Amino acid sequence: MNKTLQNWLSSQLSDLKTNNLYRPLVDLQTPQGGTITVNGKEVINLSSNNYLGFANHPQLKRAAIDAVEKWGVGAGAVRTIIGTMSIHEELERRLAEFKHVEAAIVFQSGFTANAGTIPTILSKADAIISDELNHASIIDGCRLAGLPSEQRPVYKHKDLDSLEDCLKRMADREKRLIITDGVFSMDGDIAPLPGICELAEKYDAAVMVDDAHGSGVLGGGRGTAYHFGVHQKLDIQLGTLSKAVGVQGGYIAGSAVLRDWLTQRARPFLFSTAQPPCVAAAIIAAIDLMETDASYTTTLWENTRYWQENLTKLGFDLGVTETPITPIITGDEGKAQQLQRELFDEGVLALSVVFPTVPRGKARIRTMPNASHTKPELDFALAALEKVGKRLGLI
């Protein structure tokens, strides 16, 4: 091995640890649930994106097992060669119907959906206008589009005046694409989609919404666009299949011509093996549940309100959240990591989030109540947070 490279890696890791930015991987030893086992210790789980509790749902497991028996364990090729099975086509039809759009296309992850879609629909003559707090996958997708920085203006977070200024400056571009998260993953606030759509219409711009954290959570599970009633005004909707849906993957929903173009030119679609058929089957089972049983979403929001109301009463700073994403903001990176460690000692898993995921000085633990939590589990976690929060001077 090259000593120069290995020494550099060791030095960088040492710097991360010195600055309280190093985050070791967590070893989960049970299925996802309200209570899990981590590093041999049973803890209340407040760090999962498993919003509806589907990751370990019996119907999804049964669907996956049945699909393995019927289709095998792998697709065996990329979609454009011989990796498109009937079950993949069925999944995309179901997603399109669920989202009330013409067509949908599934990618291996939400990240690759952004990385594949944004560069594929833009040219050097175009412009991308992006919210400053958009997810890293949007940022990388914009970079991959290859436009110069002046054609990729960033508007102030949720600031429609700032967005309009960017649109005016990009008026001479051939196409203008506004991109925003539907729900912002670190703060839990929601994009002002009605205002964005009005400006898009005024300035002849297309709108793309990354609804990874709105999928299954808002709008009857169909996302932020349906929450606001503007789904017919959007050109591109990205959804995830690995959070509320509980499985794995991401998808783009929109027009039939959009899907057709992406099948021809989106590089992650062209050069990655198709999802295992059991994944597609489990997702279809999740769509069935979302369409027929509203109790999962109802329980999610009941738990969210209970959790957030009690944290606020205790005096924690939850920022601007409007969704189940519940940050407990510490500011200091060292304090966030100490809060994580001491909560774990008390039997609660709530992971810290530090730079580069959030800006320096904006560290937090990010708690995620979900539909699988019981009230006793949430009460246990609240008691632990009160105890540790007082000890660390956070409340």
Specify whether 168 is located in the same domain as 109.
yes
Split into its structural domains, the chain has a count of 2
Model pLDDT, residue 103? 98
Q: How far apart are CA 285 and CA 122, in angstroms?
A: 35
Model pLDDT, residue 5? 97
Could you tell me if residue 134 is inside a domain? Answer: yes
Could you tell me if residue 12 is inside a domain? Answer: no
Is the per-residue pLDDT at 20 higher than 90? no
Specify whether 232 is located in the same domain as 312.
no
Specify whether 152 is located in the same domain as 223.
yes
Band (7; pLDDT cuts 50, 70, 90): very high
Model pLDDT, residue 42? 97
Whether the CB-CB separation of 191 and 327 falls below 8 Å is answered with no
Specify whether 73 is located in the same domain as 198.
yes
Residue 375 belongs to domain with CATH number: 3.90.1150.10
Could you tell me if residue 6 is inside a domain? Answer: no
Catalytic residue of the set 227, 243, 335, 373: 243
Model pLDDT, residue 338? 96
Look up residue 110 and give its amino acid.
G
Q: How far apart are CA 207 and CA 128, in angstroms?
A: 10
Domain span including residue 62:
58-292
Catalytic residue of the set 99, 135, 158, 213: 213
Is the per-residue pLDDT at 114 higher than 90? yes
Band (216; pLDDT cuts 50, 70, 90): very high
Task: Tell me the average pLDDT across 303-308.
Answer: 98
Model pLDDT, residue 4? 98
Band (30; pLDDT cuts 50, 70, 90): very high
Domain boundary (249, 267, 292) is at: 292
Domain boundary (269, 292, 315) is at: 292
**How confident is the model over 138-183, as pLDDT tens digits?**
999 999 999 999 999 999 999 999 999 999 999 999 999 999 999 9
* Sequence-distant (≥ 6) Cβ neighbours of residue 38 within 8 angstroms: 26, 27, 28, 29, 344, 349
Is the per-residue pLDDT at 323 higher than 90? yes
What percent of the chain is modeled with pLDDT above 90? 96
Could you tell me if residue 1 is inside a domain? Answer: no
Residue 280 belongs to domain with CATH number: 3.40.640.10
* CB atoms closer than 10 angstroms to residue 141: 28
Is the per-residue pLDDT at 324 higher than 90? yes
Could you tell me if residue 42 is inside a domain? Answer: yes
Is the per-residue pLDDT at 3 higher than 90? yes
Annotate 235-264 with b (16+ C-beta within 10 A) or e (fewer).
Answer: bbbbbbbbbbbbbbbbbbbbeeebbeebee
Model pLDDT, residue 328? 97
**How confident is the model over 259-300, as pLDDT tens digits?**
999 999 999 999 999 999 999 999 999 999 999 999 999 999
Band (24; pLDDT cuts 50, 70, 90): confident
Could you tell me if residue 170 is inside a domain? Answer: yes
Q: How far apart are CA 233 and CA 209, in angstroms?
A: 11
Is the per-residue pLDDT at 23 higher than 90? no
Could you tell me if residue 73 is inside a domain? Answer: yes
Catalytic residue of the set 48, 109, 185, 242: 185
Specify whether 356 is located in the same domain as 261.
no
Specify whether 374 is located in the same domain as 227.
no
Known catalytic residue: 100?
no
Domain boundary (263, 292, 321) is at: 292
Mapping DSSP onto H, E and C, the string for the chain reads CCHHHHHHHHHHHHHHHHCCCCCCCCCECCCCCCEEEECCEEEEECCCCCCCCHHHCHHHHHHHHHHHHHHCCCCCCEHHHHHCCHHHHHHHHHHHHHHCCCEEEEECCHHHHHHHHHHHCCCCCCEEEEECCCCHHHHHHHHHCCCCHHHCCEECCCCHHHHHHHHHHCCCCCCEEEEEECECCCCCCECCHHHHHHHHHHCCCEEEEECCCCCCCCHHHCCHHHHHCCHHHCCEEEEECCCCCCCCCEEEEECHHHHHHHHHHCHHHHHCECCCHHHHHHHHHHHHHHHHCCHHHHHHHHHHHHHHHHHHHHCCCCCCCCCCCEEEEEECHHHHHHHHHHHHHHCEECCEECCCCCCCCCEEEEECCCCCCCHHHHHHHHHHHHHHHHHCCCC
To the nearest 10 degrees (0 to 180), the angle between helices 277-292 and 58-71 is 150
At residue 345, φ and ψ (nearest 5 deg) are -60, -30
Strand order in 250-254's β-sheet? 103-107, 250-254, 236-240, 206-210, 176-181, 127-131, 154-155
Known catalytic residue: 213?
yes
Look up residue 288 and give its amino acid.
D
**How confident is the model over 331-368, as pLDDT tens digits?**
999 999 999 999 999 999 999 999 888 999 999 999 99
Could you tell me if residue 270 is inside a domain? Answer: yes
Mean of the per-residue pLDDT values of the chain: 96
139-114-184-47 Cα dihedral, nearest 10 degrees: -110
Specify whether 172 is located in the same domain as 288.
yes
To the nearest 10 degrees (0 to 180), the angle between helices 277-292 and 86-99 is 30
At residue 307, φ and ψ (nearest 5 deg) are -60, -50
Specify whether 71 is located in the same domain as 107.
yes
